[in-house]
């Protein structure tokens, strides 16, 4: 049988996650990179290959959104920082995604939209309308949420006769993360307690919406109606000065934070997602070590632990990349994890 032609894909944003995605698009034969949207003026006009240390591709990076919208492409890998980082709000991401969908391009995004229904029927209808207008589909991915707090818990519940509580914990170490935008501006590490309180406010709203999606998605898939999703967060101050890739963490500045998101039914927790972020796990002893844990309380009791993930950002990028083919083959509309085949690794398999 003749092989299918490569899918034409646009990379939207080339930050920490987007660069992993861009490398996959360039090196894999099942994709044809046709465009790259960048935010950094220094990247405009550069060949896409140069951004990830690869030979030239002939695809020149642009910051012209209208030019991207006008391009012929099967899919856009939409991977910017949340709109809240740039002083906007969640509807700004909706506007961009709707424009891409309306232009006839499928969209895989890492900015949320794992379960758009939690934003209300108005947002869902706008997205569905854009899908109908462009004959395209939308799918939200990630690792947590988007995989560790969605796919894996649901897979484990397939062994259950009774489910009392679903618990997911992610603990991440940011000592090697090079982006000050993420580590300092978004997470608030290296800031004083006073500065952190103000700086993290937009991020708090983004986190709440993002993980509320995950909690509501799992509950909905299990036919459970939540009364509400509670959120709480706290932070830790450094007792010593230490250096990380994104800067210097001073004494009495924020070096870690812990967030919990709990879906309640009649006052009882049905699902809890706990997120621990550390500037350097070797310097911050409070809260669990890096890794993922999923615990299903019920019959039977189950605990799944991922002790180490060497390239978490690569995982987030590849989950999106590996979803492109299934999304392009799906009927137009907003597609959740339950609507698509499970994305599996499509890169080079090395057998030593």
CA separation for the pair 54, 15 (Å, rounded): 16
Residue 39, Cβ density class (10 Å: 0-12 exposed, 13-18 middle, ≥19 buried) = middle
pLDDT at 90: 59
Q: Which residues of 328-345 are buried (b: 16+ CB within 10 A; e: fewer)?
A: bebebebbbbeebeebee
| Cα 14 from chain centre | 14
pLDDT at 211: 86
pLDDT at 1: 45
pLDDT (tens digit, 0 to 9) for every residue of the chain, 352 residues total?
Answer: 457 899 999 999 999 899 999 999 999 999 999 999 999 999 999 999 999 999 999 999 999 999 999 999 999 999 998 765 555 555 688 999 999 999 999 999 998 899 998 888 999 999 999 999 999 999 999 877 888 888 899 999 999 999 999 999 999 999 988 888 889 988 999 999 999 988 888 778 778 878 888 999 999 999 999 999 999 999 999 999 999 999 999 999 999 999 999 999 999 999 999 999 999 999 999 999 999 999 999 999 999 999 877 777 888 999 999 999 999 999 999 998 888 887 777 555 555 5
Q: Where are the domains of the chain?
A: 7-141+323-334, 151-309
What's the angle, vertex CA 84, arms to CA 48 and CA 176, rounded to 5? 55
pLDDT at 215: 94
Pairing of strands 254-265, 228-237: antiparallel
pLDDT at 84: 58
The partner residues of 4 in beta bridges, in order of sequence, read none
List the CATH code of the domain at 7-141+323-334.
Answer: 3.40.50.720
The partner residues of 226 in beta bridges, in order of sequence, read none
Question: What region, left, alpha or beta, does residue 238 occupy, with left being phi > 0 and alpha being psi -120 to 50 degrees?
Answer: beta
């Amino acid at each position: 049988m003749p092989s299918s032609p490569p899918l034409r894909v646009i990379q939207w944003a080339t930050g920490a996650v987007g660069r992993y995605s861009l490398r996959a698009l360039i090196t894999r034969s099942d994709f044809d990179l046709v465009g790259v949207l960048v935010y950094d003026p220094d990247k405009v006009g550069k060949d896409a290959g140069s951004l990830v240390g690869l030979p030239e591709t002939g695809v020149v990076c642009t910051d012209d959104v209208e030019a991207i919208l006008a391009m012929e492409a099967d899919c856009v890998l939409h991977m910017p920082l949340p709109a809240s980082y740039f002083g906007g709000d969640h509807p700004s991401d909706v506007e961009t995604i709707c424009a891409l969908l309306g232009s006839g391009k499928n969209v895989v995004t890492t900015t949320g939209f794992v379960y758009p229904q939690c934003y209300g029927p108005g947002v869902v209808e706008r997205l569905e309308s854009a899908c109908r207008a462009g004959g395209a589909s939308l799918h939200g991915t990630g690792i947590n949420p988007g995989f560790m707090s969605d796919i894996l818990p649901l897979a484990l519940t397939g062994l259950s006769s009774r489910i009392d509580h679903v618990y997911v914990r992610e603990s991440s170490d940011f000592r090697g993360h090079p982006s000050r935008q993420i580590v300092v501006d978004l997470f608030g590490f290296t800031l004083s307690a006073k500065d952190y309180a103000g700086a993290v406010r937009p991020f708090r709203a983004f986190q709440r919406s993002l993980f509320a999606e995950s909690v509501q998605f799992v509950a909905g898939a299990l036919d459970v109606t939540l009364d509400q999703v509670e959120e709480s967060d706290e932070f830790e101050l450094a007792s010593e000065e230490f250096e990380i890739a994104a800067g210097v963490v001073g004494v009495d500045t924020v070096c870690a934070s812990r967030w919990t998101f709990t879906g309640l039914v009649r006052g009882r927790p049905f699902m809890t997602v706990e997120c621990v972020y550390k500037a350097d796990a070797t310097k911050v002893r409070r809260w669990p070590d890096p890794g993922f844990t999923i615990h299903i309380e019920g019959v039977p009791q189950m605990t799944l632990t991922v002790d180490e993930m060497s390239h978490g950002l690569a995982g987030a990028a590849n989950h999106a990349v590996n979803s492109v083919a299934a999304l392009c083959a799906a009927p137009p509309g907003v597609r959740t994890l339950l609507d698509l085949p499970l994305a599996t690794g499509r890169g080079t398999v090395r057998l030593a």
